[in-house]
Structure 1
């Protein structure tokens, strides 16, 4: 089976990144991670980022730059990490997708549990280069 493709939204506001607690309808409910989702057929990575952010947290964003990629822990998805400025706008969480949301620093992200092991290198190595 071929690896599926997904985007991860690195939403930046005042030196922090938005993370959500994955909601009851999301895979791996309860885990803390940036908003993310599958790339639909015919969609670019940037288009998927804009759509997923709107669907999950209700922010209208413009895709910035692709800054990292990695595989999910089970290898089923290739994750494409994109930045998007999110300095304004109120969050409107989809209750099925996101139970809670926080704007965090890399240090604060390490205090959240549970998180995906694959996200830790992003917060430790990549994020500091973006701020």
Structure 2
């Protein structure tokens, strides 16, 4: 089966990153992670980033840079990690997809459970270098 493409939004606000807890009706509910979503046909990674952030938490963001690439633990998705700055605006979570949101430091993120191993790797190895 061909891998699908997805983006991961590393939304930053003053030294913290937005973490979301997956909602009850999506796969793998309850996991903490950065915001993410699938690319739609014909969409660029930047367009997907802006759309997914708007849909899931109601923030308007500008894409920063692509900083990493990984794949999901089940191998179904190739993940394109992008930074984006979310300086202003209130978070309005989509209750279907997002159970909870928190602005966390990298250390606080690593203390959340459960986490996906790939996200742990990003927060331990990649984020400190950005």
The answer to whether structure 1 residue 41 and structure 2 residue 47 are counterparts is: no
- Displacement of 1:25 in angstroms is 2.2
Alignment partner, residue 124 of structure 1:
124
Equivalent pairs, count: 130
TM-score (norm. length: structure 2): 0.98
Alignment partner, residue 102 of structure 1:
102
- Displacement of 1:87 in angstroms is 1.4
C-alpha separation between the residues in 1 aligned to 2:61 and 2:27? 24
C-alpha distance after superposition, 1:63-121 (max 9, x if no partner)? 11100010100100000000000111100000001010001111101110001011111
TM-score (norm. length: structure 1): 0.97
C-alpha distance after superposition, 1:41-64 (max 9, x if no partner)? 000000000000000000000111
C-alpha separation between the residues in 1 aligned to 2:58 and 2:28? 21
Q: Which runs of 5+ in 2 are unaligned?
A: none
Q: CA RMSD in A?
A: 0.7
Alignment partner, residue 76 of structure 2:
76
Would you identify which runs of 4 or more consecutive aligned residues in structure 1 move more than 6 Å?
Answer: none
